């Protein structure tokens, strides 16, 4: 064999494994993770999701890739992020909340979409039914609208003489509008007067509190990415106005809100990884039923309670924040 031919053959043999590895990397499935808030806000949820993926055999950087995108509480970012993930040809999109899922659904009718948190997926038209979702969307419901009445009752129990309840909601979010209606219905059933405070962007928050002066004894804050991103501002203004607050998730209580009652979000994100596992192994989203939460938490911020002059037994709470 001539020396030139031998070198050419050797070079080809050395290059083959590199080419094979490149092809293997190219075939690695990709998960599009559309976070509705910031990495810090969603750190516990993301960690639960990634940990469960590992338990199921999907290790990021080895046999699966994850493309993270963050909307930072800005609903207008959802369509842009969804379009970007579709362009990347991800195998599945994971997100949370009605507005984000709607944006993803409008961007693709082919790529499976898993929602880790869905407030009322049937009522908002995301799925045909819980048992048979149909289409390319499925996931886990947080039952936020179903829990509205329970939250109002809890708030009335801890706020003596509660007679006037205000609600604050991002009316640009269809789920928030549904929940606000449920809150109003529950409040009226309990004989409470209701005041509405509508927001669409961060700049609306301070004026909304100004409009509530003298009109409420407590505030029900409807969970939403805009609200979560601005949770410190909302709770600071609420405390300044002497308004006890009820929230749908403990993130807001950790940021100074009085109390929250709702599904355990890290647990739902953990279970969302099971959906992704099924999708990556060939199951169609239309054939995976929407599941409901199994863990609910009542969180109370004792420091806020003390500042408001409220006495709440620690034994009532699943999580006590001081």
Taking only the tens of pLDDT, the chain with its 322 residues reads 444 443 444 444 444 444 444 444 456 999 999 999 899 989 999 999 999 999 999 999 999 999 999 999 888 899 999 999 999 999 999 999 888 999 999 999 999 999 998 877 887 788 989 999 999 999 999 877 778 999 999 999 999 999 999 999 999 888 888 899 999 999 999 999 999 999 999 999 999 999 998 899 999 999 888 898 899 999 999 999 999 999 998 889 999 999 999 988 899 999 999 999 999 999 999 999 999 888 888 999 999 999 999 988 776 667 777 6
Q: Is the same domain home to 97 and 154?
A: no
Q: Is the same domain home to 271 and 311?
A: no
Q: Hey, how many other C-beta atoms are within 10 angstroms of the C-beta on 198?
A: 16
The C-alpha torsion from 27 through 29 and 35 to 39, rounded to 10°, is -70
Can you give the CATH number for the domain in which 19 is found? 3.40.50.2300
Residue 190 CB partners (closer than 8 Å, separation 6+):
152, 153, 156
Q: Is the same domain home to 310 and 167?
A: yes
Flag whether 2 is in a domain: no
Q: Is the same domain home to 201 and 301?
A: yes
Q: Is the same domain home to 107 and 168?
A: no
pTM of this structure: 0.75
Q: Is the same domain home to 125 and 162?
A: no
Domain count of the fold of the chain:
2
**Parent domain of 22:** 9-143+264-295
Flag whether 189 is in a domain: yes
Residue 194 CB partners (closer than 8 Å, separation 6+):
164, 165, 166, 167, 183, 184, 187, 188
Flag whether 1 is in a domain: no
Q: Is the same domain home to 68 and 165?
A: no
- Paired with 276 in beta bridges are none
d(CA 309, CA 210): 22
């Amino acid at each position: 064999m001539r020396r030139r031919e031998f070198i050419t053959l050797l070079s080809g043999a050395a290059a083959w494994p590199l080419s094979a590895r490149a092809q293997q990397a190219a075939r690695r499935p990709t998960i599009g993770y559309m976070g509705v808030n910031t990495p810090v806000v969603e750190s516990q949820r993301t960690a639960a999701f990634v940990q469960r993926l590992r338990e199921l055999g999907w290790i990021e950087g080895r046999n699966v890739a994850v493309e993270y995108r963050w909307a930072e509480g800005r609903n207008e970012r959802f369509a842009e992020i969804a379009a970007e993930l579709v362009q990347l040809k991800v195998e599945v999109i994971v997100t949370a909340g009605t507005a984000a899922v709607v944006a993803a659904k409008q961007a693709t009718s082919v790529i499976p979409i898993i929602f880790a948190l869905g407030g009322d997926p049937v009522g908002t038209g995301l799925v045909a039914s819980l048992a048979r979702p149909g289409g390319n969307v499925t996931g886990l419901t947080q039952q936020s609208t179903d829990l509205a009445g329970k939250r109002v009752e809890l708030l009335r129990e801890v706020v003596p003489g509660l007679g006037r309840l205000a609600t604050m909601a991002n009316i640009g979010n269809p789920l928030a509008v549904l929940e606000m209606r449920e809150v109003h219905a529950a409040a009226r059933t309990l004989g409470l007067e209701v005041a509405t405070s509508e927001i669409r962007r961060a700049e609306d928050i301070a004026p909304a509190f100004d409009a509530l002066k003298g009109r409420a004894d407590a505030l029900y804050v409807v969970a939403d990415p805009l609200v979560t991103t601005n949770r410190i501002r909302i709770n600071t203004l609420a405390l300044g106005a002497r308004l006890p607050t009820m929230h749908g998730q403990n993130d807001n209580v950790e940021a100074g809100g009085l109390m929250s009652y709702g599904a355990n979000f890290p647990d739902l994100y953990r279970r969302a990884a099971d959906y992704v596992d099924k999708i990556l192994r060939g199951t169609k989203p239309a054939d995976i039923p929407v599941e409901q939460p199994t863990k609910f938490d009542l969180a109370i911020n004792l420091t806020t309670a003390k500042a408001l002059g409220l006495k709440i037994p620690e034994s009532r709470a699943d999580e006590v924040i001081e």
